[in-house]
Structure 1
Amino acid sequence: MIDFTNLNYLKSGNERQKRAYEVLEKYQIFEKLKTYSPVLAGTIPIGIDIESSDLDIICEVDLRFEEKFLDDIRSGQLIPVDVEVTIESIIVHDEKSIVLNFMLEEFQIEIFGQNKPPLQQNAYRHMLAEHRILQERGEEFRHKIIELKKQGIKTEPAFGLLMELENPYEDLLKF
């Protein structure tokens, strides 16, 4: 099993994974986010990304101290000062979350913070389940997922369609 908590696996991945590693290292994103226990989640780590896929970085952010996190962002300590960042507070499954979006070179990056460790967040748990399913079902299944994503279907619903899951967001967590 890949250790998704350490970015080194990207160095031996496909071209997009290698490039993601280079960009994240160049800007020291994970080093700067270290206090927030960052983990790369989503489609790029498991090789089902499409051209428009972003780098999803999930973090543990104590939202009682959200302003400290935002001050770190605004001051340039986490993200270069000249980068335009959009910040949004949202509720996901009854949990307050903070989402930051910005571009670094060719990558759209999303930092998603919740008041829980990244390994307990649904984004990480979905990615592990999807990775396991991809390993079991092989390359043909992987290509079908990618084709559905190219048609505009989000990742979990794409798995749901191919696996006939009633509620893919919930059902994938059972894997």
Structure 2
Amino acid sequence: MKKFDTIEYLSVGTPKQREAFRVLSHHKIIELLAQYRPVLAGTFPLDIAVPGSDLDVLCYWQEAGHFKQHVTNSFSGFENFTLREVTINNQHTIITNFFADGLEVEVFGQNIPVKQQMAYRHMIIEYKILSKKGDNFRQQVIALKQSGLKTEPAFAQLLGIEGNPYTALLEFNV
């Protein structure tokens, strides 16, 4: 979805979105990751961020070692920098976390084009649902998130989706 290809839309969004834009722009986070085709996903683009929500930056790497070196060189000076490698959905995944101006940033990299990654696909479906269901539904999602639920389980609960919310949501017809 073209809207999410850059972070410019955040600059005219809600106060939380404008703060996310300021942090990402001031620290050149998207710019530093440009070669990995970064896309901000998750709660900030959808305007459902709650205290403690992080800025999820999805990246597509083709060489794991180069990506690890690049994110380490670019972000290791930030507060609470960590880098870990895990397997998610049978995919080698490199995750970097750090804080910039009090906001946690998570750089999530896989050897899968960003628009095919689960987090991006979830965001697009959730965006369509929020667009269709309106602000009352958005507020219900936020309330569930504030009570401790993660985003996908909150959507699944409100929509009456059964089973694994992460996979079932991908099959939800909007």
Give the TM-score band, short-chain normalised: over 0.9
> For residues 11-36 of structure 1, what are the alpha-carbon distances to aligned partners after superposition, in whole Å with 9 as ceiling and x for unaligned?
11100100111111111111110011
The structure-2 alpha-carbon separation of the partners of 1:35 and 1:140, relative to structure 1 and needing over 3 Å to count, comes to same
The yes-or-no answer on 1:7 pairing with 2:4 is no
Residue 107 (1) aligns with residue 103 (2)? yes
- Residues 71, 96 of structure 2: 8 Å contact kept: no
Secondary structure, aligned partner of 1:45: helix
Report percent identity of matched pairs: 39
Q: Alignment partner for residue 150 of structure 1, among 146, 150, 165? A: 146
Task: Within 5 Å, give how 1:155-166 maps onto structure 2.
Answer: 155-166=151-162
Deviation per residue, 1:64-108 (Å, 9 max, x gap)? x32222222233xx2263544111111111111111100001210
Q: 1:156 to 1:82 in 2, by over 3 A?
A: closer
* TM-score, normalised relative to structure 1: 0.92
Taking the aligned partners of 2:58 and 2:93, their CA distance within structure 1 comes to: 10
Alignment correspondent of 1:73: 71
Q: Does structure 2 retain, via aligned residues, the 8 Å contact 1:2–1:9?
A: no
Question: Is the deviation greater in 160-169 or in 145-154?
Answer: 160-169
Structure 1 unaligned segments of length 5 or more: list them: none
Could you tell me how far 1:2 is from its partner in structure 2? 6.1
Output aligned runs, 1:2-151, within 5 Å. Answer: 3-62=3-62, 65-75=63-73, 78-79=74-75, 81-151=77-147
Provide the C-alpha distance between the structure 2 equivalents of 1:6 and 1:73, rounded to a whole number of angstroms: 20
Distance 2:136 2:47 in 1: 13
Shift of 1:8: 0.6
Q: Residue 25 and residue 121 in structure 1: after superposition, are their counterparts in 2 closer, same or farther (change >3 A)? A: same
Structure-2 separation of matches of 1:17 and 1:44: 6
Counterpart-to-counterpart distance in 2, 1:82 and 1:54 = 15
Q: Which runs of 5+ in 2 are unaligned?
A: none
What is the root-mean-square deviation of aligned Cα atoms in Å? 1.4
- Whether the 8 Å CA contact 2:78–2:100 is kept in 1: the answer is no
Give the TM-score of the pair, scaled to structure 2: 0.93
Contact 1:61–1:113 (CA<8 Å) still a contact in 2?
A: yes
Aligned partner of 1:172 among 159, 162, 169: 169
SS in 1 for 2:134: helix
Cα separation, 2, equivalents of 1:105 and 1:7: 18
Q: Aligned equivalents of 1:5 and 1:108: distance in 2?
A: 21
